[in-house]
Structure 1
Amino acid sequence: MDRGLGPRSQRLTMAWPSSDRVVFPVGLLATLLVLVTVFYYPVGRVLLAAINPGGTPLAPIVEILADPFYLGVAHHVFADPMGVPAGVLTWLADGAPLSAVEFGLFGFTAYQAALSALASVALGLPGAYVLARFDFWGRQTLTSLTIVPFVLPSILVAVGFQAMFGRTGLFNDLLGVVGLGPIEVLYSLPAIVIAHAFYNAPLVTRFVTSAWEGIDAREIESARSMGATPIRAFRDVVLPQLRPALLSATLLAFVFSFMSFPIVLALGGLELQTVEVWLYAKVQSLDLEAAAALAVLESAISLAIMYIYLRYESGQIVSHTGGRSRSRRSLVAGWRTLSDPRRLAVLAYGCVAAVVFLGPILSLLIESVTGPEGAFTTAYYEFLLARQASTAVGTIAPLTAIRNSVLFALGTLATAVPMGVIVSLVATRSGRGSRLAETLLSAPIAVSGIVVGLGLLQTLVFGVEVLGHRLTVTGWIAVVAAHAVAAYPFVTRNVTPALAGIDDRLVETARSLGATRFRALLTVTLPLIVAPLVAGAAFAFAISIGEFDSTVLLAEGGASHTMPVALERYVGNRSIGPSLGPATAMGTVLLAVTAASFVVIDRVGGRYDG
């Protein structure tokens, strides 16, 4: 070992046990081959269509940048760069209010993403405080459940919000009981922001809870002993150590909200379009040059933010300390009085969180068994069975969609887990090259599923000339490939921190006893990362079950329709009636399959967890 390396570099070097001359190079080569075939090449073709279409460099991109519809007032920077200073001075001299400024499609997309990220922090941060500082019955279960909203299919969440906040939804039904009129919540910016917070607030909670629990209690005690008030100790000691986790979670929430598709499509209406929805509309209308240009700009923004996120995530792993954690106080018996302000604040937060997180799911379940007159009914589930037996053209058979979703998810699991582990091994190598490689290999998490689906359509689905033969990949293979590309970064995000934290002495001991590197991987490293590996596998399976963005483009043949695609068809098909009943019934089935698969993978993996 090079004695010039620091302890961190030594540990990471020794924690890479899989460079067994054959196993790791072959695995890395296979991973790169899959990525080049189903991600980099298809997405590259999309980007190339915007960069050099018909020999005119950057024409579609320049056209979008100079269009006020896309950039609003900022389009002057590209349409008339020399006139910008004078134009700004004129605007300031006229005293135009900020509200009169048009920010365009990209501006609105960033605006709603920023609001969604702030709402996610506002909703998730108090939850992190409760989980990190208080002890109560069911705390561990609640901590585990914080990840459930994130793995729910986004189209399912959109239907749940429609069932809750629609004109005939549960929320307005409850208002009617107390004599209040219906409130229009859907097809508004607040509905989109709250739905995004439903998704991303649990990420904030998990990130910040982990960081909060890792703060050394002795630092806080030292600050208090020197006369600092609790607020001052929080500001000077706790907040700086929470900042990296909080910023990382905020960046992720922004990226996911910026690239959100089904939620905005279902809850935004025609007046609240985002880049992702407009990109889908361009693909549907076969305006592929404009779609490619939008894809380039959107991907550039999201990749830049994802690079910042990876930098901060790396800092979190390095800065982790093994100090003494603060003891938790009882949530039930730890208050001076029943009217303690902190107790009331926690109770108020619990009520808000219950409405946001439980309301849409309960509304979905209730709506699926409630008839127009409010009576119990199974008519919507009977409708699904009737659609299964229908032979009409364009009919989506629910059982076929369920079967396809499960089979595609199994194929995704078999592909995404090995890919994710290989990328984690790359990420835990020391040096700048490994960080750059990790960023490039993690790029799919920051590229829209619509862009991936469009790229696959233009290349493998329509056909690619290879050595004089036209190679086409359609049906379930194309769908599984797109799902695996979307899912493997989540395996990496779970496995990398655990792999980086392995004590190098364990691997050294195994090697000194004669074990090969590959044997050390199987007998020492793998058992230590089973829990995060199983968590990553559950993520991959659930993401495949709920994947909608790329599937809606690739699953056009009927035989490869999945549950989310069927759900979207039931929501949009008014020929089956104005009720959300059939959609909520299909959504309930999708919810049951997602939850069951998540539990099964967790239980199976638990058998091998140390």
Structure 2
Amino acid sequence: MKPVERSVSWVERHALGVAAAATAAVIAVMFYLPVGIVLSEAVGIAPGFPPAVSLDAFAEVLSDSFYVGALAGVGADPFAVSRHADNVASWAAAFLAGEAGLPSFGLFGFTAYQALLSTVASVALGLPGAYVLARFEFPGRRTIRSLTILPFILPSIMVAIGFIAMFGRRGVVNDLLATVGLGPIDVMGTLSIVIVAHAFYNAPLVTRVTAAAWESVDARTVETARSLGASRRRAVLDVVAPQLLPAVLTGALLTFVFTFMTFPIVLALGGLRLATVEVWVYNLLGNMNYREAAALATLETALSLALTYAYLRYEARQAAGSRGANPLQRVPLFPSLGSLRSPVRLGVLAYAAVVVVVFVGPVLSMVWTSVTGPDGLTLAYYEFLVQRQAEGSAVQTKPWPAVRNSLTFGVATLAVALPMGVAAAVVTTRKFRGRAVVGALAMGPIAVSGIVTGVGLLLGPVFGIPLGGGWRLQVTGATAIVAAHAVAAYPFVTRSVAPLLGRLDPAMVESARALGASRARALVDVELPLVAAGVVAGAAFAFAISVGEFDSTVILAEGSKSYTMPVAVERYRGRRLGPATAMGTVLLVVTSVSFVVIDRLGGRFERG
């Protein structure tokens, strides 16, 4: 065998191992190392052997009433719990009573409080949608169900701009109220608008998870209960509800985790007055208070990891399985005009109106505001973007570099995250000792916010890590941003591909191996074509997440070089709403077109 042929043969035999090792190296350097740097900055590790460790930063946070409210005394003297029982009781009472002031709650308490309210709102808004999708048949049902994935695609800063355009003092809602002689409403900067915006993102998640569980309910169990004398209401409460409860709790727990780590929504709609932990970390970074920011980020990460672990354990034990063999029969939503008088159908229509206001209204309001001014329809805001591009100075935020950078970073992220996600999916679907641990480590970025990753990258690879001998590990600019985006995106590729790989018949791979194919060749020629839908979905997710990513990008983007469209939207928001809505509309178009293009190309690949 010639040397070239031997090299090719070696590569084929070891391709999967090399890909898995490369993926592990990227995750270690671009995720776990930055997270470790945040921890080391928080604990103040000093050089030497053994290294000196100081927990002063944590002690300062946990004993500061600004951060923990009435629990500050417990943090200052944790062994005197009995002396602080009254403080703990008053804190809990204030929490349950909804007295959401920072003096009693503290920053962590307020963050948890708004996450709890957001979770309740998301569940309340998401459950009726699950009922409609699971129990009724109507034109466009599948399309509407597929739209429940939008929260993972639409950039959060763009949605925040949409809420400002709709509910702001000069927004669409107040314009409509003025036409009928009613005074303006002012909800911006309030907790209510933040909760509604969170529901925009998380109610579809509750709907999607619960609808899948509803469709898994076996109709025969309901029929058995009815045959034993149970009324329709009792059958739902005793048979259907217990089977839906795990899915509802899963959606609620995920919503709490996501809203506890909220950043762009609160930053744009509430500012520092309604600051959550993430927003305050960002504020501390702006003031170059890196140690306190690292301590806060570490505490938040510990809480989010604990909640995510609880979710994964709960999902593994109780999550609804695959669609039942005999699912509940869906009925026509409006079988006749007379059915419009049915209380259930009237309720569905009322719910549809709420959906239009909460989910469609902000996006349409952003687009409408971008083409209207005090004197009516106008393109002045888009002309402003064109003029800024043509005449703006080098340090000003221009639209074309933002679009170019977003697309470039998106393509680069796709090139990195797609093979990483597929490699992680292949590894985590193979049976071996320690697979659960490897799977948990691979999915770690889901439980850690982009702010924490951005802080770690900034304090580590961006500033530079001395390696000794005059060498220095440094990753800056576009490379750091792509690394952060890839770390955030690849778990979604894994989640899209792994379930499909796990359901494939192992005999197909074994047959290919028996015919002489290497493991890598069997993957490429046999397995990946069969899971092409998951690969395409993962690719679309990776690209869309990169284009819309804001949390880590706003930290890592250099002033005039590597800002993206979401960062440009935030910078324009600081000037006037009009240019921000115009840039947000450009972001909406680019994100939607990109997602559709990737999906269509994937469809061709599947058919081929």
Which residue does 1:591 correspond to in 2? 588
Which residue does 2:253 correspond to in 1? 251
Letter of the 1:433 counterpart: G
TM-score by length of 1: 0.91
Q: State the Cα distance separating 1:222 from its structure 2 match.
A: 1.8
What are the equivalent positions in structure 2 for 1:404-419 lying under 5 Å apart? 404-419=405-420
Do the aligned residues in 2 keep the contact of 1:335 with 1:343 (CA within 8 Å)?
no
Q: Deviations over 1:283-322 (max 9, x none)?
A: 1111111011001100001111112222334346784365
Unaligned residue ranges in structure 2 (runs of 5+): 1-10, 47-51
Letter of the 2:138 counterpart: F
Which residue does 1:148 correspond to in 2? 150
CA–CA distance in structure 2, aligned partners of residues 508 and 216 of structure 1 = 35
What are the equivalent positions in structure 2 for 1:339-418 lying under 5 Å apart? 339-373=341-375, 375-418=376-419
The SS at the match of 1:465 is: strand
In the alignment, which of 36, 39, 42 is matched to residue 44 of structure 1? 36
Which residue does 1:567 correspond to in 2? 569
The reply on whether 1:503 has 2:505 as its aligned counterpart is: yes
In the alignment, which of 185, 188, 204 is matched to residue 187 of structure 2? 185
CA–CA distance in structure 1, aligned partners of residues 313 and 336 of structure 2 = 39
Q: Deviations over 1:117-169 (max 9, x none)?
A: 22111111111111111111111111122212331111101100000000000
CA–CA distance in structure 1, aligned partners of residues 251 and 434 of structure 2 = 25
Letter of the 1:595 counterpart: S
CA–CA distance in structure 2, aligned partners of residues 485 and 339 of structure 1 = 52
CA–CA distance in structure 2, aligned partners of residues 501 and 202 of structure 1 = 26
Evaluate the alpha carbon distance shift between residue 21 and residue 248 of structure 1 in structure 2; reply closer, same or farther with a 3 A threshold.
farther
Do the aligned residues in 2 keep the contact of 1:149 with 1:357 (CA within 8 Å)?
no
Letter of the 2:27 counterpart: L
Which residue does 1:324 correspond to in 2? 326
Give aligned pairs, total: 586
Evaluate the alpha carbon distance shift between residue 91 and residue 552 of structure 1 in structure 2; reply closer, same or farther with a 3 A threshold.
closer
TM-score by length of 2: 0.91
The SS at the match of 2:466 is: strand
Do the aligned residues in 2 keep the contact of 1:53 with 1:59 (CA within 8 Å)?
no
Letter of the 1:418 counterpart: P
CA–CA distance in structure 2, aligned partners of residues 93 and 265 of structure 1 = 29
Letter of the 1:27 counterpart: A
Which residue does 2:7 correspond to in 1? none
Q: Deviations over 1:405-442 (max 9, x none)?
A: 00100000111111112222233234672222211111
CA–CA distance in structure 1, aligned partners of residues 90 and 460 of structure 2 = 52
Do the aligned residues in 2 keep the contact of 1:534 with 1:601 (CA within 8 Å)?
yes
CA–CA distance in structure 2, aligned partners of residues 138 and 371 of structure 1 = 35
Letter of the 1:549 counterpart: D
The answer to which of 422-431 and 71-80 deviates more is 422-431
CA–CA distance in structure 1, aligned partners of residues 33 and 93 of structure 2 = 47
In the alignment, which of 519, 540, 549 is matched to residue 517 of structure 1? 519
Evaluate the alpha carbon distance shift between residue 366 and residue 318 of structure 1 in structure 2; reply closer, same or farther with a 3 A threshold.
closer
What are the equivalent positions in structure 2 for 1:279-358 lying under 5 Å apart? 279-315=281-317, 319-320=321-322, 322-333=324-335, 337-358=339-360
Do the aligned residues in 1 keep the contact of 2:34 with 2:456 (CA within 8 Å)?
yes
Which residue does 2:6 correspond to in 1? none
Q: Once the two structures are aligned, what percentage of the paired residues are identical?
A: 57
Do the aligned residues in 1 keep the contact of 2:39 with 2:294 (CA within 8 Å)?
yes
Which residue does 1:453 correspond to in 2? 454
CA–CA distance in structure 2, aligned partners of residues 94 and 391 of structure 1 = 52
CA–CA distance in structure 2, aligned partners of residues 581 and 240 of structure 1 = 49
Which residue does 1:104 correspond to in 2? 106
Greater relative contact order: 1 or 2 (C-alpha under 8 angstroms, separation 6 or more)?
Answer: 1
RMSD between aligned alpha carbons? 2.4
The reply on whether 1:580 has 2:580 as its aligned counterpart is: no
Evaluate the alpha carbon distance shift between residue 103 and residue 203 of structure 1 in structure 2; reply closer, same or farther with a 3 A threshold.
same
Q: Deviations over 1:244-288 (max 9, x none)?
A: 322222222111111111110010133211000000011111111
In the alignment, which of 51, 69, 73 is matched to residue 70 of structure 2? 73
Unaligned residue ranges in structure 1 (runs of 5+): 1-18, 574-578
